[in-house]
Structure 1
Amino acid sequence: MKKVAAVILAPAMLLSSAVQADTLLGVYAGGQIWDTENTGSFGSGAGNQSFGFADEKQQSFYIALEHPVPLLPNIKIRENELSTQGFVTLSEDFVYNGEGYSAGTSLASAIDLSHTDVTLYYEIFDNDLLSFDIGVTGKKVDGLLAVRDAQSENSLKSDGWIPTGYAQLRVGIPATPLTVYGLANAISIDDSSVRDIEAGIEYRLVENLAVDLNLQLGYRDITIELDDLDGIYSDLQFKGPYLGLEVHF
């Protein structure tokens, strides 16, 4: 948020373009350790099955580049780990990916929805008290949802891009080294939706002309509701607190 520039909006392009940013290229890089509570169910069309998913520690890393070139969006790339395992003893028959499992079967599950976010965004406001970004994100997912009984594993995979809207708001607290912030990626199409929302508070550990170093404490919630995406149905939620560190050159 250490910028020298002002924001110039073209009236006819209010939501799609803005002139902004650093006098030189601004680089943001950071990482987070996320302690997730994981719940929900998934299936392949014949009814979802709930599992007792284990809580996990996930990781996320990102880098963002901001520049002063008018109309050209800034870019942020973020790697997100998103996986868990579960177990259930079936109370009724369950069919997954064409294979049937009878009531009383002990069934393990494995989920890996780790993905890469590629975000293109514009800075609508950018100063020490208020910063607001808006753009679009493409989530590149190489997904795996699998179940395993005593004999074999049965898995479904999904490989593709999920487009979402993107917004981030940051508000500095005057006369303190603190900033509160929130950001969201979200889309809803027919009966499927993906929501990735986080909010937190940031403490400026170091702030000078050369580098800023910020400590982050926040809460993130990812909900994935799929209705026949490559044959996958799901109602999954990953949520919990995280601790992060960000550096700005």
Structure 2
Amino acid sequence: MKNGRLKTLQWLAPLALLTVTSAQADTIFGVYAGGQYWDTQSSGAYGTDRQQQTFNFDDEQQGSYYVAVEHPIPLVPNVKVRVNDIQAMGTVTLDQNYSFNGQTYTAGSTVAGMVDLSHTDFTLYYEFFDNDLISFDFGATAKRVDGALAFRQGNNNNEASGDGWVPTLYSQVRVGIPATDLTLYALANAISIDDSSIRDVEAGIEYRLIENLAIYLNLQLGYRDMQIELDDADGLYSDISFKGPYLGLEIHF
């Protein structure tokens, strides 16, 4: 009987060690990756001077993708990179002459507009709480914007472009609903510098589809609201909002 117990303990020891190691893996090192399908309604105006032209934008489907790496090293921030495809197209019949990027468009003519404010977020952040009930992250984001604004009329495509870095503050809070597989969450990137400002906020609910020792797979449903106001950013001016519901999927291992 003693030998039998010893053999059982010898067999269980590696399994117990593996279980403990797997349970601690998220504490030691974690990788998050995900994406969103975002159905947006866009509104606003843009131009190459302070007098901006308003367009009737079409609804668009946008994409957003991210990866984040978290670790337990003191004072060293966690890292998140997020790619945002932000585009809109629309038309307007001008009620007065309008000048865009050195070209004048006459009153009564119809002009097509194109906006591309796609950008990449590089975020450094710290976790102040991290448990199943509540987690809170705070840090800073550098947005790398490669923007383009255009007026199109017939075969003429008049495009103004600019690029640069925009710093924002970053925060995220997550609250688990006890005795369920649901989590409420919200995150924000926002800043205001002189007359330019960027606000990017979202909130939603997350459902854990898969949860085991290897991976977590979460389904997300939420609403995102982005406002981009540029004041002479490489000669670009804008006051455009993108908002609407999204469906997302996140994997954590």
Paired residue for 1:16? none
Structure 2 equivalent of residue 166 of structure 1: 170
Q: Which residue of the partner structure matches residue 223 of structure 2?
A: 219
TM superposition shift of 1:24 = 2.8
Deviation at 1:151, TM superposition (A): 4.6
Partner of 2:19: none
1 CA distance for matches of 2:203 and 2:252? 19
Runs of 4 or more above 4 Å deviation:
none
- Equivalent in 37, 52, 57 of residue 61 of structure 2: 57
Deviations 1:72-115 (A, max 9, x none): 00001111110011111101111111211110111111111111
Give the counterpart letter for 2:136 in structure 1.
Answer: F
Paired residue total: 232
Superposition RMSD in Å: 1.5
Aligned pairs (5 A) from 1:57-136 = 57-136=61-140
**Structure number having the greater helix percentage:** 2
- Equivalent AA in structure 1 for residue 240 of structure 2: L
In 2, Cα distance between the equivalents of 1:27 and 1:224?
30
TM-score by length of 1: 0.90
Q: What secondary structure does 1:196 align onto?
A: strand
Cα distance between partner residues in 1 of 2:101 and 2:49 = 8
Higher Cα radius of gyration = 2
SS in 1 for 2:57: coil
Find the aligned partners of 1:22 and 1:44 in 2 and give their Cα distance. 48
Match of 1:111, as an amino acid? V
| Cα deviation code 1:8-41 (max 9, x no counterpart) | xxxxxxxxxxxxx944320001111000001100
Indicate whether 1:29 and 2:33 are aligned. yes
Alignment partner, residue 13 of structure 1: none
Unaligned runs of 5+ in 2: 1-21
Secondary structure class of the residue paired with 1:51:
strand
Q: Percent identity?
A: 62
Equivalent-residue separation in structure 2 for 1:186 and 1:125 (angstroms): 21
Distance (Å, rounded) in 1 between the aligned partners of 2:148 and 2:249: 29
